[in-house]
Chain A
């Protein structure tokens, strides 16, 4: 049964332009379409009318690249739990419904056009310390250092983060704590990540502050919105590593750290 929908879409011509909602009718929407396929159809219709189509970010369309991300009726990635926008299907909506579609809203994520935002701040948080400093070629045998299965599994749970930014968009403070904590936890669970563990937490948290993300006040909206179900427990872990770093790391590493 094809559905009829009304879309209220945020249109903004450029980073410095004023934006506004515009209404579009989407008729003949199949319940088996993905949300982005529904937008594709609307865009084809706009193009046919000579109008500029709605810009939105997307790439893999299988829920892993993290490029797509829309605020749908006020929820990051829409109503389904553990689902990216590209994996959301129109069967999750009712015929006749009005759907409001907005970009991620956060000071640290300026709008580039329509529904596209600039998330490069997340890359800069990783640059601050979200890695293990190992040069290519000097690694020991992969089995030289056993990793308890539960640690490897916990690391993998945190490493599943796709960097989409839904946690920031969902947070009333626009904090990037869940994103940052997921990386701190991933690397911190592994023996290979121990040498830089506390310094990493200090530096990544400091960068998060510099990028104008808000502080975490444990609302927990982030873990609700996270398409990969990253647990808010990782934030507790990050805070612990941060505190340990403030107590025991050398002064030069502490100086770089912000207010947390």
Chain B
């Protein structure tokens, strides 16, 4: 298979405008004849569904939660980037583009990233018009702050709830279209497989999570906006329900999976408190604007933090990266925390934590100012840990937060299955090997509001689509396959719950394919994961039946897919013999412990094809050309 990313020709700054003109259009009167299925209702899915309905397409939208407003985009705290340069501090579309390519450690596609930076300015306008209550200055204009990894203030925010407010904007636009009849919303409905007819994505098989009924929906194109797969690690900052099933099922049907091992470990999360832990909670990295990260200089120093004088503290980010300091990008800050803890200087239970200290900021700005900026985050921290961060420094530790990898898509956001489009975190496209803070919201909304509404028209107008009825043999066959799989999960009759398998898988992944990876650990994981998967299929127990609301069954189906995805992630991590962004191979580091990239051999997207049951995945490469941003070693020193 040759991978064609369909990147338009011409200078990078003109590609998108040129492409918009060259794409085919669907006549307004014909749009209502097309039916588009959107899976997921987060920023990408809700914005896509609402916008396509506004244009006149018939849209069906699906989410597993009880309401589209609950999608996990809602939990994003810090903000959304846009190259508005309202602060007059030297920002520009080109600079946002440059920062994102560099921040992604040169493993993203230039053309996509440039388009993202261009669209960023429209997103802010759109959201303001929808009534998103962004923070404002006294003059009534929009406020900005700087955010992890950026030297300009380009981040727009709504207190510590930016994701919530942006999602509510998209959700309200979606509900507006539901009311008008343009969107049919299916909540508590989970996609369990993709339906292809004639080599094109034409529908999905879903399970109604209340009645348990399995049924099919057919249409002219399918859009997956189902988020990331960080829950393969069991413990992550993702919502409990976030899963890989939709994209994994599509992958098994032929959609290539891009850079599956590129995982973002977020530096500022609340450390784990016990074995019962069900998820990890992120503390927005905006806290690093005013908080200073440190550990004691001396190993095994167990004094209370306020008893450790400044001279005996190691503000290691400020020491190692003086120009970025506490605002160093996420991958770098996470790894530095791991190093500090590995050297025996970690704080809190098990030594798995570092301090994030607001003492100096409170002295400088006053408690009120800090409360205004971070009040809700401080409350959340106190609620979880029972410690008051105004008095005692926060303890933080890195946790899995985001997956840069995802289904491979071309410039039109279409996967290698014609008609199957993938948006937001579910695709691999814009963040390379590391995502900068406040860029996920930007990408989700760029894809949904401003890219797919154009490219879907291009696909539909240029494709001859025969009508497919619900009783088409391929549709029936897909439905039967899902029914059989569900029956199989219910009939194993073993002893272990899906959750116990999930936990065990998570531990393997965190130890062997987490913040630091090496060949022997990855090889070990590649032995242990298939063995665990085998045990899963012979020793799983799922109480209850398929014909009812059954959360154990839901979990079992998702864990089954994670057990397969995990193997692909380790295979990808093993093959990529370099360190870049969030992928740190301990064999490939400089003398002072920084990532060593290998552009000669690895400046490509690893797009993996499913090899078939029990067979090795097949690697395809999309070479990455850097024509605008010069390949250079990332330095934040």
B140 and A33 form a contact (CB under 8 A):
no
Q: Which residues of A contact B187 (CB under 8 A)?
A: 120, 123
Are B210 and A91 in contact, CB atoms less than 8 angstroms apart? no
Interface centre among A47, A60, A113 (most CB of B within 10 A): A60
Chain A, 13-53, CB within 8 A of any chain B CB:
13-15, 30, 32-34, 36-38, 40-41, 44, 46-48, 50-53
Bound-complex Cα distance A32 to B274 (A)? 8
Name the A residues within 8 Å of B69 (CB-CB). Answer: 66, 123, 163
Interface residues on A, range: 35 or more
CB < 8 Å A-B pair total: 225
| Interface size bracket, B side | 35 or more
Say yes or no: is A93 at the interface (Cβ < 8 Å to chain B).
no
Q: Out of A120, A132, A152, name the residue touching B129 (CB < 8 Å).
A: A132
Min CB distance A80 to B, Å, is 8
- Contacting pair A44 B128 (CB below 8 A): no
**A156: CB under 8 A from chain B?**
yes
Given A136-B449, A143-B141, A130 and B72 contact (CB-CB distance below 8 Å): no
Nearest CB of chain B from residue A46's CB, rounded to whole Å: 8
Is the CB–CB distance between B139 and A33 below 8 Å?
no
A133 to nearest B CB, angstroms? 6
Check A159/B168 contact, CB under 8 A, given A62-B281, A87-B384.
yes
Name the B residues within 8 Å of A192 (CB-CB).
Answer: 128-131
Q: Looking at the assembled complex, report how far the CB atom of A43 sits from the nearest CB atom of chain B, in whole angstroms.
A: 8
Contact with B along A62-79 (1 / 0, CB 8 A): 111111000000000000
Q: Is A172 an interface residue (CB 8 A)?
A: no
B133–A132 touching, CB < 8 Å: no
A250 within 8 A of B: no
Q: Are A132 and B172 in touch, CB under 8 angstroms?
A: yes
Contact A142 B172 (CB under 8 A): no
Contact A67 B65 (CB under 8 A): yes
A51 to B542, CA, bound (A): 10
Of all chain A residues, the one with the shortest Cβ separation from B545 is: A52
Q: A87-B384, A91-B386 are in contact. Are A137 and B128 (CB under 8 A)?
A: no
Complex-state Cα separation, A91 to B273, whole angstroms: 13
User: Taking A48-B497, A59-B239, A67-B66 as contacts, is the C-beta distance between A36 and B383 under 8 angstroms?
Assistant: no
| Cβ-closest chain B residue relative to A116 | B549
Are B126 and A60 in contact (CB-based, < 8 A)? no
CB of B499 within 8 Å of the partner chain: yes
Q: Is B74 an interface residue (CB 8 A)?
A: yes
Interface residues of A in 127-151 (CB under 8 A from B): 127-128, 130-143, 145-149
Within 8 A of B (CB), among A142-188: 142-143, 145-149, 152-153, 155-156, 159-160, 162-163, 186-187
Query: Within the complex, what minimum Cβ distance (angstroms) separates B135 from chain A?
Result: 7
B129 touches A149 (CB 8 A): no
Q: How far is the CA of A128 from the CA of B396 in the complex (A)?
A: 43
Known A-B contacts A47-B497, A156-B158; A142 and B130 likewise in contact (beta carbons under 8 Å): no
Residues 43-64 of B, flagged 1 when their CB comes within 8 A of A and 0 if not, give 0000100110010000000000
Contact indicator A113/B548 (Cβ below 8 Å): yes
Question: Could you tell me which residues of chain B, from 142 to 189, have a CB within 8 Å of some CB in chain A?
Answer: 142, 158-159, 161, 164-165, 168, 171-173, 175-176, 178-179, 185, 187
Closest CB of chain A to B544's CB: distance in Å?
Answer: 5
B276, A65: Cβ atoms under 8 Å? no
Q: Decide yes or no whether A105 CB sits under 8 A from chain B.
A: no
Smallest CB–CB gap between B233 and chain A, Å?
15
Is the beta-carbon distance between B500 and A146 smaller than 8 angstroms? no
- CB contact under 8 A between A131 and B133, given known A59-B65, A123-B67: no
Q: Is A7 an interface residue (CB 8 A)?
A: no
Q: What is the distance, in angstroms, from A25's C-beta to the closest C-beta of chain B?
A: 16
Give complex CA distance A142, B131 in Å: 11
Is there an interface contact between A142 and B128, defined as CB atoms closer than 8 Å?
A: yes
B586 within 8 A of A: no
Q: Is the CB of B131 within 8 A of A156?
A: no
Q: Does A193 contact B (CB under 8 A)?
A: yes
Q: Which of B540-591 touch A at CB < 8 Å?
A: 541, 543-544, 548-549, 551-552
Q: Quick one: which of B128, B159, B164, B549 contacts A55, CB cutoff 8 A? A: B549
Known A-B contacts A58-B240, A127-B179, A156-B158; A37 and B277 likewise in contact (beta carbons under 8 Å): yes
B38 at the interface (CB under 8 A from A): no
Query: Is A136's CB under 8 angstroms from B278's CB?
Result: no
Please indicate the chain A residues that have their CB under 8 angstroms from the CB of B185 in the complex. 123
Asked whether A89 lies within 8 Å of B386 as measured between CB atoms, the reply is yes
Contacting pair A159 B86 (CB below 8 A): no
Which one of A59, A131, A162 contacts B240 once the chains associate, using CB atoms below 8 Å? A59
User: CB distance B125 to A142 under 8 Å?
Assistant: yes
Contact in complex: B133, A190 (CB < 8 Å) = yes
**Please, could you name 19 A-B residue pairs with CB atoms under 8 Å apart, sorted by A?**
A34-B278, A40-B276, A44-B497, A52-B543, A53-B543, A63-B380, A65-B75, A65-B239, A83-B383, A91-B386, A126-B175, A127-B175, A131-B173, A131-B176, A136-B453, A142-B124, A142-B128, A159-B168, A189-B133
Chain A residues near B (Cβ < 8 Å): 13-15, 30, 32-34, 36-38, 40-41, 44, 46-48, 50-53, 55, 57-67, 80, 82-83, 87, 89, 91, 112-113, 116, 118-120, 122-123, 126-128, 130-143, 145-149, 152-153, 155-156, 159-160, 162-163, 186-187, 189-190, 192-193
Given contacts A61-B240, A120-B187, A142-B128, 10 further A-B contacts (CB under 8 A): A50-B543, A58-B240, A65-B71, A87-B380, A127-B178, A136-B47, A137-B450, A146-B136, A149-B140, A159-B165
- CB-based closest 9 A-B pairs: A146-B140, A139-B129, A131-B172, A127-B179, A139-B125, A156-B133, A155-B133, A152-B136, A142-B128
